């Protein structure tokens, strides 16, 4: 069972980016565990089925609001996995668990992911976790010496099946 927990100092050396073109994980070990405030920004360590550190999930509340007032803001989420933890669905399960935490502990109505448009695996992970593709934002991200297109994916609180329905597993 994939689990999320606050980062510990001994996690940090295991959470380093790799040479994949879309990796945005840390490239050098952090000195301290990341913050963990669901209302602003944070990071949680992802543990795989065996309890080993598999990666991390992150979120930050987007200050670029979709409308006036704080109710129009939303968290933007991401997931990074160690290369040896990829390809088994761990990222999608971890991302889905993070979205559920945000539903339970914040007033967010919308959760977004911004994924390099050329990153098919990243988009597939988000879709498997329940985020729907909404379009491409052209030239929105500067990475590796060029502006890149970004796929916008999102899930709304109202997209969840009602509690007690057969779709929710109850």
Widest Cα–Cα separation across the chain: 49
The more confident residue out of 18 and 16 is 16
The residues spanned by each domain of the chain are 3-168
> In this structure, how many other beta carbons lie within 10 angstroms of the beta carbon of residue 169?
6
What is the separation of C-alpha 51 from the centre of its chain, rounded to a whole number of angstroms?
20
Which fold does the domain 3-168 belong to in CATH? Aminopeptidase (3.40.630)
Q: What does the pLDDT look like over 129-148, one tens digit per residue?
A: 999 999 999 999 888 789 99
Rounded Cα distance between 121 and 33, Å, is 27
For the whole model, what pTM was predicted? 0.88
Per residue in 36-87, pLDDT (tens digit) is: 999 999 999 999 999 999 999 999 998 777 877 778 889 999 999 999 999 9
Residue matched to tokens 């994924």: 115
Among the listed residues 20, 113, 13, the one whose alpha carbon sits nearest the alpha carbon of residue 59 = 113
Output the six-digit token pair for 116: 């390099």
């Amino acid at each position: 069972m994939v689990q999320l927990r606050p980062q510990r100092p001994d996690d940090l050396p295991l959470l380093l980016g790799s040479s994949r073109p879309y990796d945005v994980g840390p490239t050098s070990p952090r000195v301290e565990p990341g913050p963990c405030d669901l209302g602003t920004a944070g990071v949680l360590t992802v543990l795989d089925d065996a309890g080993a550190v598999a990666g991390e999930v992150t979120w930050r509340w987007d200050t670029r609001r979709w409308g006036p007032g704080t109710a129009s803001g939303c968290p933007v989420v991401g997931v990074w996995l160690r290369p040896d933890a990829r390809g088994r669905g761990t990222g999608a399960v971890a991302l889905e668990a993070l979205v559920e935490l945000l539903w339970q502990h914040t007033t967010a109505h919308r959760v977004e992911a911004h994924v390099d448009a050329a990153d098919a695996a990243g988009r597939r992970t988000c879709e498997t976790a329940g985020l729907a593709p909404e379009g491409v934002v052209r030239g929105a991200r500067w990475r590796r010496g060029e502006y890149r297109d970004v796929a916008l994916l999102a899930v709304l609180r109202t997209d969840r099946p009602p509690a007690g329905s057969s779709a929710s597993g109850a």
